[in-house]
Amino acid sequence: MSDRVAKVVAKVVIEADGGSRGNPGPAAYGAVLRDAATGEVLAEDGTAIGVATNNVAEYRGLIAGLTLAAELAPEAEVEVRMDSKLVVEQMSGRWRIKHPDMVPLAQEAARLAPAGTAYTWIPREQNGHADRLVNEALDGLRSGVTVAGESDESLLAEVESARTEVPARGWAKPGGPPTTLILLRHGVTPHTLEKRFSGGLASANPPLSDDGRAQIRAAAEWLAPIADRIAAVVTSPVRRTVESAEIAAAVLGKEIAEEPGFAEMEFGAWDGLTFAEVGERFPGELERWLGSLDHAPGGGESFRTVQERVHAGLDRLLDRFHGRTVLVVSHVTPIKTLVARALDADLAAVFRMELAPASVSVVSFYDDGDDGAARGSLRLYNALPPARDPFDSSAW
C-alpha cells in the first residue's frame, strides 16, 4: 500500500472486527476506514489469518484498521469502534492484558495508533460492515485491502470485450455482437438479514432496507461509466427488485422494463420463515428439498419449474434486445440459473454458487448461425464495487 496516495481528512473512524469458526479455528479479520465527517469509506480490508481465537482475530482487525489509517490518513485524528469489549477496554488502559498471546498484538496496535486515539465500544449490530468482511474472508470471497477510488477496469473490460470477441471453443459464425446481460442481484431486505425464505410475486414482498438501497446505489454508480453501453434496465416484477431497478435506472438514466420470468422462486408455505422454523413446522420437508431439483415446498416451485420460466424469460429478452447490453435486476435463483445456462451446465450447478446481495455478474449470448440457439459465455461472476456504501452490512 505504500504507493497509494494519502487522504487529507481531519478525522477518521476505524470499524474493526474479527472472528473464528471454532475458537480456535479458521479465523479472519475485517477493518473499515471512514472519513468521520462524511461517513465515506476510504478503504477496507478483509483477510483470513489461518487458525486463531476470536480475540486474536479481533486484535488483528484493529491492527489492520490502524495500518490503513497510518498509510491513507497519517495526519488524521483516529477513533476506533469495535464490538469487542475486551479489546476496547484493554487498549483504553482500563483492563490488564493477561493472556500472553494478546500482549504483542496490543503492543503493535499501540505502536500504530497516533496519540489521542479514542476507543469506543459499539453493539454488534452496528458493526455489520466489518463483520461482513470477516465472513467474506472466511468464505474465500475476498482477501486483502480495497481502497476507494482506485481504478477497477474489470467490469468495463468484460462488457467491452464481449462486443468484439468470438466466444471460446470454436462457437464459430457469431451473427454480430452478442446480447450481454449485466446481472444485478437486489439489495438486502429485512428477510435477507434474518435469513428468511423470501419468494417471488406470491410472497410477502419485503421492501429494501436502508442498507439495501445504499448497496444498489453503490453498484449503479460503479456501472455508471458504462451507462452508454446499456440499452435498458430489465427487472423482475417483485417489489425488492423493482425498487432496486428504480435506483439503478435513475443513476444510469435508463428506462425500466419488467420480465416476470426473472422473478424469484416461490416458496409457498415456507415464505417468510427461517430454516429452523421450516424444520419445526414441516418436519422432513427441508431435507427433501435441499439438493433436489424437482421437489417443491407446499404451494411453491421446484428448481426445474423456475428454470423453465427463466429460460422463457431469457428467450424473450434475447429477441427484444438482440445484440445489445441490458442490465437485468433479479434474484439469487434466477441469476444462478442464467449463469448455469450460459455455461451450458447442469442445473445442479446452482447448489455450488454463492451470490452476494447487490453483486454484479456478466453473461453474453452469441448466435451460432446454425440452429439459431444462443451460446453463452460467462464474463464475470459475483463482483462487488471496490468499496461499498458506508452503511453496507450485507448478509448472505
Residues acting as catalytic residues: 186, 264
- Cβ within 8 Å of residue 330, ≥6 positions away: 183, 184, 185, 186, 235, 236, 241, 262, 263, 264, 338
Query: CA 192 → CA 205, 293, 356, distances in Å?
Result: 12, 23, 11
| Residue pair 223/182 in contact by the 8 Å Cβ criterion | yes
Is-contact 393 211, C-beta < 8 A? yes
How many other β-carbons are positioned within 10 Å of the β-carbon of residue 85?
Answer: 10
Residue type, 352: R
Q: In angstroms, how far is the first alpha carbon of the chain from the final one?
A: 29
Other Cβ atoms closer than 10 A to 214: 22
